[in-house]
Amino acid sequence: MNSTSTPAAPVLPNHTTRIARIDALRGLAVFGILLVNLWSYTWGYESLRYGILPPDASLFDVAAIAFTAFFAEQKFYPIFAFLFGASAMLIAQSIHARTGRWSEAQRLYKRRLWWLLACGVLHGALIWFGDILTLYALVAFWVLLGMIGARLSTLRWHLRLWSLGFVLLVGLNFWLSMQSLSVEEEYALVTAAIDNVEAARQVYAYGNFFSIGWQRLQDYVAVTTQSVLIVPHVATLFLLGAWAVRRRWLTQPQRHRTLWRRVLWVGLLLGLPYNLFWAVLKVLEAIDPLHPWRWDFTMFSLLPIGGSLLAAAFVALFMLAGDGIMRGVQAIIAPVGRMALSNYLMQSLLGVILFQGFGFGLGQQLRPAMWLGIAGLIMLGQIIFSRLWLSRHAQGPLETLSRRFIDRNIG
């Protein structure tokens, strides 16, 4: 990286310009994503997310699945995507304020996306197949980059277009889910899913470094390829986050309390019953995967909406919370959100080492209820680590490397 004496060289927002409430929400999302990813460290990416409960499973094991399905599944990835779009606008605005050029903001943000794409590919290929950074970077190249410096009307038009695409895709999936299958066809699909899940579990739970690496690479390619189906959802969330910043819903929430109250009530009234029902379905599926409830596919087709509704309620709670409450929350989890990339990748590294066969193999040795206990310890460790690290540094370790990559040759 070439040095420069120009005062405007630090073009990304530093720790003094960050919004602690948003960082705290991002920290919560990082922890919520860990709860969901926890299961795939052992069970792989196949359709039975929570695997198969053994006959002697305890009530705590059942509760662990119910809690994760209700509270976390499809709630925190939407929040993370929403905040990703919001961060794009905040970063671009900061660069524009320093340089006076939107073209410079686009150029530097493009570097950021290349950095995230490289992190995503390495993460998915070498650590854990369920990487989301690859998809985020690719969609952001396509959707977000052109919104930097764009008129509000242009952003609104793109948001409407992608929202329509998302709704149409959900509608198509809903229609397909209503198509009846014969008993034989349904049984064949279910047994194939069970066989695939068990085959993946055998590799991840008992395999060595090389067998797990090969399985991970195959799963990463499959997951990334299938992610094309959620592009409209991700693009909509990106643009909604960008819109929320442009309209100052996130940066000045006290001026938009009526809006956030409406979001909260709609999210709770529609999201709570749906996700409670979803949690019951996932528990029944894990107990007896050979006999799924007949509406399971239909509920799955609506999960992107049902999960996002409760996610919206979580965001609204953070926006509506009083300053006194938020000071305590921010003190705990805002540091985690300030170094979200480092913590996200650290979770994956710890997860595969602790749960998979080439490491400690705890995914096979322990029951699901204890998995959540381990997740809690990881969260506690990251809270402590983030606070200690940021007491000595302006950014997280990977965030610092990102800054150096983005700022190189500036001057």
pLDDT number for residue 344? 97
What is the distance between the alpha carbons of residues 179 and 297, in angstroms, rounded to a whole number? 10
Please provide the size of the chain in residues: 411
pLDDT in tens, the chain (411 residues): 333 333 333 333 333 346 899 999 999 999 999 999 999 998 887 668 898 898 889 999 999 999 999 999 999 999 999 999 999 999 999 999 988 999 999 999 999 999 999 999 999 999 999 999 999 999 999 999 999 999 999 999 999 999 999 999 999 999 988 887 777 777 787 788 888 888 888 999 999 999 999 999 999 999 999 999 999 999 999 999 999 999 999 999 999 999 999 999 999 999 999 999 999 999 999 998 877 777 788 899 999 999 999 999 999 999 999 999 999 999 999 999 999 999 999 999 999 999 999 999 999 899 999 999 999 999 999 999 999 999 999 999 999 999 888 877 554
pLDDT number for residue 410? 54
pTM score of the predicted model: 0.92
**Could you tell me the residue ranges of all domains in the chain?**
20-115+134-209+224-407
DSSP symbol at 409: T
What is the distance between the alpha carbons of residues 245 and 8, in angstroms, rounded to a whole number? 23
What is 186-229 written as a DSSP string?
A: HHHHHHHHHHHHHHHHHHHHH--HHHHHHHHHHHHHHHHHHGGG
pLDDT number for residue 409? 56
pLDDT number for residue 186? 73
- Given CA atoms 71, 282, 51, 188 in this order, what sign does their dihedral have? negative
pLDDT number for residue 46? 65
Q: Are 363 and 313 in contact (CB under 8 A)?
A: no
The residue among 235, 100, 88 whose CA lies nearest residue 148 is 88
pLDDT number for residue 16? 35
What is the distance between the alpha carbons of residues 291 and 285, in angstroms, rounded to a whole number? 8
pLDDT number for residue 311? 98
